[in-house]
Amino acid sequence: DQQVKQNSPSLSVQEGRISILNCDYTNSMFDYFLWYKKYPAEGPTFLISISSIKDKNEDGRFTVFLNKSAKHLSLHIVPSQPGDSAVYFCAAAISGTYKYIFGTGTRLKVLA
């Protein structure tokens, strides 16, 4: 039972354009969401998070949007840069518990 889904295994975007990565979840108890970026041979690097009391959180070029009614979140990267090429994982958690549930990842390729 995959509680967190990233339905697009890969995405290619031109440098300077917007990258939109999507994530869906099924458990309505999740109230904390995160995005991580992973390069080969490295561990996941934290990018940005959002609590369910918000519907948007911004940090520089990265913005996460949360639509609770649709159980959907997305990560926007504007403008995309070649260094953004990596695998992106979304993760969800329930406040007061101890584990993250990860999606299967989306491989983003930013073309120069």
Partner 1 sequence: ETGVTQSPTHLIKTRGQQVTLRCSSQSGHNTVSWYQQALGQGPQFIFQYYREEENGRGNFPPRFSGLQFPNYSSELNVNALELDDSALYLCASSGSRRGPDTQYFGPGTRLTVL
- Sequence-separated (6 or more) residues with CB below 8 Å from residue 57: 48, 49, 50, 63, 64
Among 14, 16, 28, 46, binds partner 1 (CB under 8 A): 46
Q: Of 35-43, 54-62, 64-72, 73-81, which part binds partner 1 (CB under 8 A)?
A: 35-43
Residue listed under structure tokens 């913005």: 63
Among 35, 100, 108, 110, binds partner 1 (CB under 8 A): 100
Question: Residue 104 interacts with partner 1 (CB under 8 A)?
Answer: yes
Q: What is the DSSP string of 11-42?
A: EEEETTS-EEEEEEE--TT--EEEEEEE-TTS
Question: Residue 35 interacts with partner 1 (CB under 8 A)?
Answer: no
Q: Of 12-20, 60-68, 75-83, 99-107, which part binds partner 1 (CB under 8 A)?
A: 99-107
For the record, the structure tokens of 1 come out as: 């039972």
Is 10 or 14 the residue whose CB approaches partner 1 more closely?
Answer: 10
Query: In the chain, helix, strand, coil percent, each to 5?
Result: 5, 55, 45
CB of 2 to partner 1, least distance (A): 9
CB of 112 to partner 1, least distance (A): 26
Is 65 or 102 the residue whose CB approaches partner 1 more closely?
Answer: 102
- Is 34 within 8 Å of 90 (Cβ atoms)? yes
